[in-house]
Structure 1
Amino acid sequence: MKAAILESAPGELIVIDDVEHDAPGPREVVIQTAAAGVCHSDLHYMQGKYRTRLPTVVGHEAAGVVVDVGSDVSYVAPGDHVITCLSVFCGTCEYCLSGRLVLCSKRGTRRARGQKQRLSRGGEDIHQFLDVSAFAERMLVHENAVAKITPDLPLDRAALLGCAVTTGMGAVGRTAQVPIGASVVVIGAGGVGLNVIQGARIAGAGRIIAVDRLDSKLATAIDFGATETINASEIDAVEAVKDLTGGGVDFAFEAIGLKETTEQAFAMLRPGGTAVVVGMIPLGTSIELPGVDFMFEKRLVGSLMGSNNFRTDMPRYAQLYAEGRLKLDELVSARIGLEEVNSAFAQMEAGSVARSVIVF
């Protein structure tokens, strides 16, 4: 099968090559990939900002159809439509048993070192990326890395539920638990930021301020539910938010992954407010905050994949889409072939797209 392989990082292009997947072991499933979103998280690993074992088949946001299952698989069967998620869970660790599946230790969900790995090329192991490796014509994953959906949901849209939607919507509904009428600012109107914005709209937030440096993205943010926009390339975003709100917002979401914007998000809060870091801040980065602000009960919290419980969250998001309340069609900037993946990452780095989707 054809797959997109990252052989070294940083600075290397992805190579399209033939790889093989092993037969499914106990609790493993083989999925015919239908579509996979091109996510900024992959770019972080390609740029060396985060580390992964190489070579690896990248990609983690996908949807497809189950074609084979191993022994002991009970959740899915061949023919089922599924979404993959990197938040694979074991179901037995302390985090899983206390309801925080996103922090799972992943015990027993991966093949052990020294054991034949799920992917190979010419007899040599290819490492699995984020427990998924979605940029391939087929995926071999643990059954707890998938969520079932109904066949009527288009798979090129369903793929986006696996990361962008779950991360943004979950940051609002699960991590921050934004109440009706709250004031919200979202820094970054890319794929994840747009889902934070529509998550705030669905939650009933009173004011939703979008901050970005591109007018085109800010226009899209309005379509997704922003009530006001600020172009950070033209004015001081922190002062603008304070002026608009009379002192600050209840919730600030950082959806880029930078030191500067994280500190800005915290500075945009009113007393008692909460800043949520949704973006992936590069390894080794330290955040500096004024200590006195904690005297006013301001909080800074992290959000991993929207604090999701994806087996229950994704079907609910699919229902919201079916009801016309969740925008998925508008998130897709382009549908591309696997061989166009390097161009898609270049466009993403330039900030010109919300989400490219590889269609197999």
Structure 2
Amino acid sequence: MRAAMVRKAGQERTEIRGDVGTRPVGPSDVRIQIKAAGVCHSDLSAMAGILPNKKPFVLGHEGAGVLAEVGADVPDRLRVGGRVIVCWVPPCGICPACLAGEANLCAELFVPTALTANFTIGDESAYGMCGTGTFAEELVVPWQCAVPIPDDVPFDIAALIGCGVTTGVGAVLNTARVVPGSSVAVIGCGGVGIAAIQGARVAGAAEIVAIDPSEEKRASVERFGATHATDPEGAAEITARLTDGRGFDYVFECVGRGETVRQAYKLTRRGGAVVVVGAGNRSDTVSFSMAELFLDNKRILTSFYGGGDPRTDFARLIRLWRAGRLDLEGMVTARLPIERVDEALDLMRAGAAIRTVLEI
């Protein structure tokens, strides 16, 4: 089958292969025929080595498709032919994190799946990004990675829910728990940032400010709920104008850089919340003085995979989409075949206001 491979850190072009296979389906596994896969900035981070992954690996972690095969021990609700979203952080349901209501932090299945060679290239073993590898025609994963969805949910919409939408909306609703009538700023208006803006609208925020250096991205944010947009240089002025200089109640950092975390902290009011959503490099650090931490009383929150439980959050996001509260169609601005994945990655590198879905 076809798949987009990465062999080494720093690789800028994927290797499109037509001779990739999967491991056999075990008793607790499912085989998913991928129909659509979202292209996320985290894919670039994995290629660059910022997000570690065993190599060689099949790129991609956002995806949706159809169950093609199920193991003997898989629950009956997962049946051949059913539509599913790929969940790259599968909750086991019984570990301390799951029992504490922190299913997004479950590592019981994620770690062994990420370390398992789920693919083959001839006699060579290969891995999947984050244990999945959705830039392939098929993949084999534990059944907990397959979250069933209704048959009428389009595959491109479902693919985005697999990561970007869950991460951004979840950061607002689960991690920050934004209060209606509050003020919100979002730094970085890629897929996750747009999802965070939409989450703030769902939560009832009064002011939602989008901050991004790309004029193209800023031009599109009003559709998703932003009330104002500015480049980073104009952030101080708009903060002074909208908040009387106090700062925003919530600032979401959706870039993954120390400098933008610092900017988020500066834009947040005393007692407000800085929410770090972006995935960054281990060598990139940010520092705070003990005095400012004590005097400012700002909450610094981090949000991993939306801070919720994909088993219930995916369904909630679908309901919000059905109700017209989430504009997911507007987030898909290009549909390309898997052979053009590098074109999609180049657009993302250039900062284009585009969210690409690969049709596989």
Q: TM-score, normalized by length of structure 2?
A: 0.95
The alpha-carbon distance between structure 1 residues 238 and 106, as it changes in their structure 2 partners (threshold 3 A), is: farther
**Pair 1:292-2:291 in alignment:** yes
Distance 2:108 2:263 in 1: 34
Match of 1:244 in 2: 242
**Pair 1:143-2:132 in alignment:** no
Match of 2:95 in 1: 93
| Contact 1:184 1:249 survives alignment (8 Å) | yes
The alpha-carbon distance between structure 1 residues 87 and 111, as it changes in their structure 2 partners (threshold 3 A), is: closer
Match of 1:83 in 2: 85
Long gaps (5+) in structure 2? none
Q: What letter corresponds to residue 165 of structure 2 in structure 1? A: V
Match of 2:25 in 1: 24
The alpha-carbon distance between structure 1 residues 50 and 106, as it changes in their structure 2 partners (threshold 3 A), is: same
Q: What letter corresponds to residue 240 of structure 1 in structure 2? A: I
Match of 2:59 in 1: 58
Q: What letter corresponds to residue 240 of structure 2 in structure 1? A: K
SS of 2:112 mapped into structure 1: coil
Distance 1:199 1:269 in 2: 18
Task: Quote how far apart the aligned CAs of 1:354 are.
Answer: 3.0
Size of the aligned set, in residue pairs, is: 356
Match of 1:45 in 2: 46
Match of 1:128 in 2: 128
| Contact 1:198 1:326 survives alignment (8 Å) | yes
SS of 2:66 mapped into structure 1: strand
Task: Quote how far apart the aligned CAs of 1:11 are.
Answer: 3.0
The alpha-carbon distance between structure 1 residues 107 and 147, as it changes in their structure 2 partners (threshold 3 A), is: closer
Q: What letter corresponds to residue 63 of structure 1 in structure 2? A: A
The alpha-carbon distance between structure 1 residues 242 and 289, as it changes in their structure 2 partners (threshold 3 A), is: farther
| Contact 1:238 1:264 survives alignment (8 Å) | no
Distance 2:282 2:345 in 1: 20
Match of 1:331 in 2: 331
Task: Quote how far apart the aligned CAs of 1:353 are.
Answer: 3.3
- Percent identical among aligned pairs is 41
| Contact 2:187 2:211 survives alignment (8 Å) | yes
Task: State the Cα deviation string for residues 19-43 of structure 1 (Å, max 9, x = none).
Answer: 1112211211011111000010010
| Contact 2:216 2:353 survives alignment (8 Å) | no
Which moved further from structure 2: 90-99 or 310-319? 90-99
Q: What letter corresponds to residue 146 of structure 1 in structure 2? A: A
Match of 1:67 in 2: 68
Task: Quote how far apart the aligned CAs of 1:236 are.
Answer: 4.2
| Contact 1:90 1:108 survives alignment (8 Å) | no
Task: State the Cα deviation string for residues 222-252 of structure 1 (Å, max 9, x = none).
Answer: 11001111122xx342343233211101100
Q: TM-score, normalized by length of structure 1?
A: 0.95
| Contact 1:208 1:225 survives alignment (8 Å) | yes
| Contact 1:89 1:104 survives alignment (8 Å) | yes
**Pair 1:273-2:275 in alignment:** no
Q: What letter corresponds to residue 100 of structure 1 in structure 2? A: E
Distance 1:26 1:94 in 2: 25
Distance 1:285 1:314 in 2: 32
Task: Quote how far apart the aligned CAs of 1:255 are.
Answer: 0.7
SS of 1:199 mapped into structure 2: helix
| Contact 2:59 2:135 survives alignment (8 Å) | yes
Distance 1:108 1:56 in 2: 16
Task: Quote how far apart the aligned CAs of 1:45 are.
Answer: 1.4
The alpha-carbon distance between structure 1 residues 108 and 149, as it changes in their structure 2 partners (threshold 3 A), is: closer
Distance 2:114 2:132 in 1: 16
Task: Quote how far apart the aligned CAs of 1:283 are.
Answer: 1.3
SS of 1:110 mapped into structure 2: helix
| Contact 2:114 2:129 survives alignment (8 Å) | no
